[in-house]
Amino acid sequence: MVTIKLIASLSLFLLILSMSGTTKADTIEDAITTNDNEEYTEAFEWWHSLAEQGYADAQCNLANMYENGKGVPQDYAEALKWYRLAADQGYADAQALLGEMYYRGKGVVQDYAEAVKWYRLAAEKGSVFGQFALGIVYYRGNGVVQDYAEAGKWNRLAADQGLPKAQYILGMMYYIGEGVLQDYVMAHLWFNLASMDLEIRTEAVEGRDIVAAEMTPAQIAEAQRLAREWKPK
């Protein structure tokens, strides 16, 4: 029997995502703005030089620094400009993050439809954040017709790449039977994998324990075996 507590946990989880925006674990931010011994100002100068030469990865990195105020005053308009230049070159990470700017209304009027356009372009290129973001908008019905099956599809792709938040949501969908056939073994598997991430460990462990209470010992053993053998795709 699906518990109200676990459904409420998913609602709260999605609400937190909507308020907090993108985290370092969900984007390439830690890869492009964080380096333990790096001076942000020097990094900014380096990326700016390469960005002006037309390198899409540098343009994306530069945009991220403007968005987060790393090495330069925060400037959403400049971030939007550089994300768009990289996105127009087909750079998937920039497409996903440009979509996020539209989704949050950063430096531009909030536009879910435009966000979805960029999320989809990124997702179809294999961007884990683009896939996760597209799964979320389909789950909520923001900029698209609400479609749990599509939400499950895109969250599965992101989960398969190892994104913990996507794994948690996929575990919830398997537990509830939303967009996928209800499957407690799969729910346990994805909650268990998500629990490896410290940021969402509490929620994932709670989900795993709740579903485990409704499983047979054989089902739990199978889910644990799948978790041990799982590898990101």
107: helix, coil or strand? coil
Residues 118 and 50 both lie in one domain: yes
Enter the DSSP assignment of 3.
-
Domain harbouring 145, CATH code:
1.25.40.10
Residues 43 and 147 both lie in one domain: yes
Please, are residues 71 and 44 in contact by the beta-carbon 8 Å criterion? yes
Average pLDDT, the chain: 87
**Poorest-pLDDT segment among 7-16, 91-100, 138-147:** 7-16
Residues 33 and 144 both lie in one domain: yes
pLDDT at 165 over 70: yes
Element (H, E) at 13: helix 4-20
Return the structure tokens found at 63: 């945009």
pTM of the model: 0.83
Three-state SS for 163-188 is CHHHHHHHHHHHHHCCCCCCCHHHHH
**pLDDT tens profile 174-193:** 999 999 999 999 999 999 99
Domain hosting 122: range is: 27-162
User: pLDDT value at position 28?
Assistant: 38
**pLDDT tens profile 194-222:** 999 999 999 999 999 999 999 999 999 99
**pLDDT tens profile 2-18:** 555 555 455 545 544 55
> Average pLDDT of 156-167?
96
Instruction: Assign 29 a pLDDT band (cuts: 50, 70, 90).
Output: very low
Residues 199 and 222 both lie in one domain: yes
Enter the DSSP assignment of 200.
G
Q: For residue 32, what are the contacts with CB-CB under 8 A and spacing of at least 6?
A: 60, 61, 64, 65
Please, are residues 60 and 90 in contact by the beta-carbon 8 Å criterion? no
User: pLDDT value at position 1?
Assistant: 52
Q: How many domains in the chain?
A: 2
Residues 155 and 169 both lie in one domain: no
Residues 85 and 147 both lie in one domain: yes
